[in-house]
Amino acid sequence: MLNLTLFREIFYQSRIPQLISSIDFTMVQFNPAFNEFVGYSSDELEKLSVEGISHPEDMITDKRLFKELLDYQRNEYQLEKRYIHKSGEIKTGVLTVSRIKERLTGEEFLLGQVLDITEKKQMENALKYREKKYRLLAEHSSDIIVLHKVDFTCLYISPSVKTILGYQPEEMIGKSPLEFIHPDDLIEIRKQQICAQVEEIKLITYRCRKKDGSFVWIESTVKALTDTETGEVKEIVTVSRDIEQRMETQDRLRKSEKLAVVGQMAAAVAHEIRNPLTPIKGFMQLLNAEKEMNPVYLKIVLDELHRVEVIISEFLTMAKPHTKKLTNVYIDHLVEQVVQLLKPDANLTSKELQIDVERSNLSIMGDPNSLTQVFLNIIQNALEATANRGLVHIKVMPDSTGVTIEIIDNGCGIPSERLSKLGEPFYSTKERGTGLGLMTCYRIIEAHQGRINIESQEGNGTTVTIWLPFKSTNS
C-alpha cells in the first residue's frame, strides 16, 4: 500500500498516532505511535474493530461523520474522541480523518491522526472537579465568600449574602463592597490602607449596611491571588462572617467588667476610709465624754485625718491625666535629682543609694513631674524594703530605641504569689499601703509608651526595670 519510501519513513517514525486504510477498511496499517497510544500491537489491532478500542459514547458521532466522509459530503472531519487502552485506561485524543488520493493510480485512502490530549483532559477534569468542590463549599458556607477584581469590584459572591445582608448575589455583582461599609469604618479602613496592601492577608472589622438600611458587624479576611510567574495581583478573595452576636457579647462583658470594677473600687474606698474613721470617731467620743482636750487623743485624730487626706490625694492622682505636656527630659539628670532628694532620709536609716549612668544627657520626650513621681515612689519602696545598712542600686542604660532604668535592692523580696498582683488598686505589700502609688506608676509609664517590669525572689531582693522610648507616639 505504501510505495513511497519517504512517506513510509514519515508515517512510521512520526510521534503522532496515525493509521492509514483503504476506503473499505480491508487494509489497515498503524504506526508505532498509535500502537503505543492504545497499548495494542499491530497484529492485535487487526483482530479488533474500531468499536473495540473506542468509547461507545463517542462512536455515534464518529460513525455519522465517517458516513458523511464516505458519501463525499466532506473531505475530512475532526472530533475529540476517547479510546480504551489495553490496560483499561481511558485515553483522549483529537481525531482527524482525511480522504487522500494517490496521483498516479487515483486510488483513495483514509488517513487518521490522533493528537493525544489525555494529560490535558485530566488536568481540565481535575480543575473542573476542584472548581465544583470549591463552588459547592462556597455556596453552602455560612460565611460570605467573594471574588473581586483588583479594584475590589465583585465578580462572584456566595448565596449566604442573602442570609446575612439580605441582598441577592446578583444585586452585588459589579459593585464594590466599599459602597456598603459604614462611613466611620470606611475612614479607618482607608487610613490603614487595606485596599493598597492586599499582598498580605488582612483581617478587618467593620459595620456593613444591610438591604433594610440597618448595619451589622462583619469580620473579613482579605487575600490577594497573584500570578505565579509575574507576582502581579490578579484577583482578590474575601471571606466575611457576621460577628454581631460576638460584638454584643463583648459589649455586655465590658459593661459587666466596668460594673464589677466600680463595685470593687467602692468597697475598697469604703474600707480604706473607714479604717481611719473608726479611731477618729472613738477618740472624738472620748473627748466629748471627758469634756476636756487630751493632746494624745488629738494627735491620733489628726494623724488619722492626715491618712484620709493621703488616700483621697492618691485617688485624685490616679484619676487625673499624667502627661499633659511632653517636653525634652534628660532622664539621667532626673533620676540623679531624685536620688539626691532621697539620700538624706536613706542616710538617717543607714541605707545606701548608688547610681550608675552609662552615658550622660540621655534625652527623651516626657512629663518631668509625673516621671519624678514614678522614680520617687519606686526608689522609696526599695528603701523601705531594705533593712539597716541595705543597698539600693540604680542603673541608667541606653539602647538603640530608648533608656532602661533598673532599681535593684537587696531587701526582703516579694513572694511569687504576691508578685502577680502588684499594680492592682488596694493591693500592697506594706502594712498600711493602698497600692494606688504603684498603680499610678504603671499608668504614667504606659502613658509614655514605656514598660515597667518587676522581678523578685523572697529573701533575695527586688529588681524594678523601667524602659522609656526616646520618642513616644504622643510626642
CATH of the domain at 20: 3.30.450.20
Residues 391/351, Cβ–Cβ less than 8 Å:
yes
Q: What is the pLDDT of residue 198?
A: 55
pLDDT at 24: 79
Q: Using one digit for the tens of pLDDT, what is the confidence trace for 226-252?
A: 887 887 888 888 999 999 888 888 888
pLDDT score of 77: 93
What pLDDT, on the 0 to 100 scale, is given for residue 209?
93
Whether 256 and 227 map to the same domain: the answer is no
CATH no. for residue 278? 1.10.287.130
Condensed to tens digits (0 to 9), the pLDDT of residues 300-359 reads 788 788 777 776 766 666 555 444 567 888 999 999 988 888 888 888 888 888 999 988
Res. 272 pLDDT band, cuts 50 70 90: low
Q: Do 407 and 340 fall into the same domain?
A: yes
Distance CA 180, CA 175 (A): 9
- Identify whether 444 is part of a domain: yes
**Domain enclosing residue 80, as ranges:** 5-117
How far apart CA 145 and CA 127 sit, in angstroms, is: 19
pLDDT band at 178 (very low <50, low <70, confident <90, very high): confident
Triad 276, 278, 283: Cα angle to 5°:
100
Q: Of 298, 319, 340, which one is at a domain's C-terminal end?
A: 319
315 lies in the same domain as 345: no
Q: Are residues 335 and 462 in the same domain?
A: yes
Residue 33, all three cell numbers: 505511535
Residue 131 belongs to a domain: no
265 pLDDT more than 80: no
Q: pLDDT tens across 285-298, in order?
A: 877 777 777 777 77
Sequence-ordered list of residues with C-beta below 8 angstroms from that of 31, at least 6 positions apart, any chain: 11, 12, 14, 17, 18, 19
- pLDDT, residue 426, reads 45
Confidence (pLDDT) at 168: 92
Q: Are residues 204 and 258 in the same domain?
A: no
Question: Is residue 468 very low, low, confident or very high in pLDDT (cuts 50, 70, 90)?
Answer: very high
Q: Which three-class secondary structure string do you get for 60-86?
A: HHHHHHHHHHHCCCCCEEEEEEEEECC
Share above pLDDT 70 across residues of the chain, in percent, rounded to a whole number? 86
Is residue 127 a part of any domain in this protein?
no
Instruction: Decide which of 295, 319, 343 is a domain's last residue.
Output: 319
Strands 144-148 and 108-116: unpaired
356 and 385 within one domain: yes
Q: Where are the alpha helices (DSSP H) in 83-212?
A: 118-140, 160-165, 169-172, 183-191
Nearest to 261 by CA among 389, 395, 112, 424: 424
Same domain? For 314 and 337 the reply is no
Residue the block writes with cell 473531505: 75
> Three-state SS for 20?
strand
- Residues 198 and 296 grouped into a single domain: no
Q: What angle do CA 458, 461, 466 make, to 5 degrees?
A: 120
Tens of pLDDT, residues 383-442 = 888 887 788 999 999 988 899 999 998 888 877 766 665 655 544 444 444 456 677 788
* 217 and 297 co-located in one domain: no
Most confident of 22-36, 205-219, 267-281: 205-219
Do 341 and 460 fall within a single domain? yes
Of 12-26, 82-96, 224-238, 303-317, minimum mean pLDDT range:
303-317
